[in-house]
Amino acid sequence: MSAALDVQQEQTGLRALLAAVRRWLDSEVDYDEVPAAQAERIDWLRVLPFLLMHVACLAVIWVGWSPIAVAVAAGLYALRMLAITGFYHRYFSHKTFKTSRPMQLIFAVLGASSVQRGPLWWAAHHRHHHAHADKATDAHSPRHRGFWYAHVAWFMNRKNHRTRHDLVRDFARYPELRFLDRYAMLVPVLLAVSLFICGLVLERSAPGLGTNGWQMLVWGFVISTVVLYHATFTVNSLAHTFGRRRYATRDDSRNNIWLALLTFGEGWHNNHHHYPGSARQGFFWWEIDMTWYFLRLLQALGLIWDVRPVPPRIRTARLIADGITPAEARP
C-alpha cells in the first residue's frame, strides 16, 4: 500500500512539473483544474525561470566585465524599456497614437524580449488596473495587498496567469500578436542565444574587446533584464506609495522624478492616472519624459501618427495645491 502511494505521489509530482514546463512554453495553458481557493497562491514551478534569472546575476563574479558587455547591457535596457513604455504601455494599453502593422509587430517583439510576457497579457492587465486602480479588485495595489505583492508577487499567482482577451479585443484580432503572446518565451530565448553567439564571435574576431559568450549572456541578457524587471515593477509599487500627488485622482498614484528618470517617464504616474489618454506623461516642460521624446522622433520620421498630447484644460483640472499655477500649464 505504501509503495503504491509513493508511486502515486511521484506521478502527481511529475504531472505538476510537466504542467509547469508547458506553462513556461505556452501561456495559454490555464489553471482550470486548480480550485478557486488556490487561485491566489504563487505557482513556484512556473516562476522558477524568473527566480533563476536573479540567481544567475551572481555569475558576474566568474565572467567578469568589459566595456562592450556593459554597453550592450545598457543599450538593451534602454531599447527594451522604450518598447515597454512606448508600446506595451502607451500604445497597446492606451492607444495614445497610431502606427502601421509592421511597426506594431516590431515593438511587440522588442517588448516580449523584456521577459514581461506578451503584449496582449500586459495590456489586458494594465487596462484592468486602470479600471480598478487601488480598489480591492486591483491585481497589484499596495494599499490592499502590500508593497511586495504589488511589486512582484501579483504576476506569480495562478489567477493572473491567463491573458484576458476580452479586455484587448482590438489587438487580439491580429494573429501575429496572439502567437507572440502565447509563446512569449520564444523571443527572450532567441535573444539570449544570439548574445551568447555574438560573444563567441567577438572573442575570436576581436579579442582586444575582452569579452566572450558567457560575459555577453550574463551582462547583455541576465543583468540587463533583471534591472529592467524591477525598474518596470516600481510603477506598480513605488509609484503608488512614494511621491507627490498633483491631481485629485481616485487612486494612490504619485509623481516621482527618480522613477521617471529610471523608467523613461513612467514615474509621472499621478499625471498618467489623471489623464491616461495622452502619449505624454511628463505634463510640464520640466518633467523629463524620455519615452515622449522617443515617440516624437518616431512621429517626425513618419513611423507613428495621431500622437495624442495633453490638452491644456487637462493640465489645470483637479489640481491639488502644489505650487503649479494655471499660467504654467503649457507644453
Q: What DSSP string runs through 115-168? A: SS--HHHHHHHHHHHHHSTTSTT-TT-HHHH-HHHHHTGGGGBSTTSS--GGG-
| Range with lowest mean pLDDT among 13-17, 73-77, 110-114 | 13-17
Give the number of other Cβ atoms within 10 Å of residue 327's Cβ.
7
CA angle 216, 221, 227 (to 5 degrees): 125
pTM of the model: 0.89
And the C-alpha cell for 7?
Answer: 508511486
Q: Determine the angle formed by the axes of helices 48-56 and 224-233, rounding to 10 degrees.
A: 120
178-184: average pLDDT? 94
Q: Which pLDDT band holds residue 161 (cuts at 50, 70, 90)?
A: confident
103-118: average pLDDT? 96
- The more confidently predicted of residues 119 and 20 is 119
How are beta strands 98-99 and 304-305 bridged, if at all? antiparallel
pLDDT above 70: residue 316: yes
Q: Which helix (H) or strand (E) holds 46?
A: none
Supply the Cα-derived Rg of the chain in whole angstroms. 21
Give the number of other Cβ atoms within 10 Å of residue 214's Cβ.
17
- The more confidently predicted of residues 308 and 33 is 308
Residue 264 to residue 252: CA distance in whole angstroms: 21
Contact yes or no for 283/272 (Cβ under 8 A): no
Buried b (16+ CB within 10 A) or exposed e, 23-59: beeebebebeeeeeeeeeeebeebbeeeeebeebeee
Report which listed range, 143-147, 154-158, 266-270, is most confident. Answer: 266-270
pLDDT above 70: residue 315: yes
Q: What is the mean pLDDT of the chain?
A: 89
How much is the pLDDT for 273? Answer: 97
Residue 226 to residue 145: CA distance in whole angstroms: 23
Across-strand partners of 99? 304
Specify the DSSP class assigned to residue 47.
T
Q: What is the pLDDT of residues 218-255, one digit of tens each?
A: 999 999 999 999 999 999 999 999 999 999 999 999 99
Q: Which helix (H) or strand (E) holds 187?
A: helix 186-205
Q: What is the pLDDT of residues 36-55, one digit of tens each?
A: 666 677 888 888 889 999 99
91-118: average pLDDT? 97
| Range with lowest mean pLDDT among 97-111, 208-222, 306-320 | 306-320
- The more confidently predicted of residues 143 and 16 is 143
